[in-house]
Amino acid sequence: MAKLQSVRGTHDLMPVEARRHRAVGETARRVAGLHGYDEIVTPIFEFSEVFKRSLGDTTDVVTKEMYSFVDKGGDEITLRPENTAGVVRAVLSNGLLQQTPLKYFYVGPMFRYERPQKGRQRQFHQIGIELIGVPEPLGDVEVIACGWAILKALGLGDKITLEINTLGDGESRAAYRAALVSYFSAHASKLSADSQMRLERNPLRILDSKDEGDRALIAGAPSFDAHLTPSAREFFARVTGGLEAMGLAYQVNQRLVRGLDYYCHTAFEFTTTALGAQGTVMAGGRYDGLVEQMGGPPTPGVGWAAGVERLAMLLAVEPEAPRPVALVPLGEKAETAALAIADRLRAAGLRVELGYRGNLKRRLENANKRGARAAVILGEDELARGMAALKDLDSGEQADVPLAELEARLKRDR
């Protein structure tokens, strides 16, 4: 029989790693809440059309990376590769556009069929926020500031750099697209096969290429800045001015782009050098054309998503599980009484683990292995006197404590 193992590109989160993931999610949820974002939970799978509309039929995600299947009812279903489309679909399905601005936070698994590497799996997890219905530059600033606040709360402030660019408005984008087509067409024979296809379909995505030959050509490509309209330039100035007013340092990266047409104005990434080549930990931007592309009325939007795996790898402090209290009953009567006592202690907010078998020495050794801070020893003599022997497993000190005072004593010494 073949050895059972996880599917390639998936990963078991054992308790230590799960605590790191939980720390990222709980911190992000708390900080996003302080910024006014309420949590939304969308289905893990959607009709495939949701992602084909939002991501485009020709993108690598749709053509190569989506986990799609036909279900028993004959519907084409896709495991979500990202969650912005799912949030927008939920807004449209539930008729929420009359209640804008809408501010949502999410956390959960996503799925993409791509080559697994450090910090990137085929099942991965993201946190993200979406701000829908705010056209002003202030919305971009707030979204970026919320992301930065989460990264700081995770202790990553000194490991992260904010890179930002403007994609301009529709007129700016059309002018820049024409300039790129003209430039790259003159060097088409030197482009990689993928970039030659992008030249016809979506020339901005050539700027994302990692091919060394493409990178050499990209270095001489026209600048987006030279093709911005005055209004687009003013929008970007208000965004950067807002960041400066908040004391949030940034670097303008004119090669930072988004290939899909519904993106406009601000694009940004928080990057790090602490993870090697895979340096982006949070990425976002303004997507004023997405709601309309998905069948709704023209509606502005801006947001970001961040990989939980990468953030968890960067955590400066290892999240620790609360140290338990070991409940050690000796004898059948004590075992029965221990069940009610354990229930009482847990109701008081204490983590309690029962010692199931072995003599007293063996059970105390096991309690130490489990990292317990104290042991509550229950023998028949103690129970008859309404007492328990409370042993501090760090200092070795032991004293009798009335059962009625057990919760207060353990909480005091926590």
For residue 183, being part of any structural domain is answered with no
**CA pair distance 5, 10, nearest whole angstrom:** 10
What CATH number has the domain bearing residue 126? 3.30.930.10
At 107, which helix (H) or strand (E)? strand 102-111
**CA pair distance 42, 51, nearest whole angstrom:** 14
For residue 177, being part of any structural domain is answered with no
Q: Which residues pair with 264 in a beta bridge?
A: 286
Last residue of a domain, one of 275, 295, 314: 314
Both 334 and 395 in one domain: the answer is: yes
pLDDT digits (tens, 9 = 90+) for 280-310: 899 999 999 899 999 999 999 999 999 999 9
Last residue of a domain, one of 279, 314, 349: 314
Q: What pTM did the predictor assign?
A: 0.86
For residue 55, being part of any structural domain is answered with yes
Q: Which two tokens stand for residue 290?
A: 């997405």
Both 279 and 154 in one domain: the answer is: yes
What's the average model confidence in pLDDT over 129-135? Answer: 97
pLDDT digits (tens, 9 = 90+) for 332-345: 888 888 898 999 99
Which structural domain, as residue segments, surrounds residue 123?
15-169+229-314
For residue 204, being part of any structural domain is answered with no
**CA pair distance 294, 297, nearest whole angstrom:** 9
Both 398 and 345 in one domain: the answer is: yes
pLDDT digits (tens, 9 = 90+) for 155-182: 998 889 999 999 998 888 888 888 888 8
pLDDT digits (tens, 9 = 90+) for 108-129: 999 998 887 766 788 999 999 9
Last residue of a domain, one of 314, 335, 353: 314
Both 286 and 341 in one domain: the answer is: no
Contact 5, 296 (CB under 8 A): no
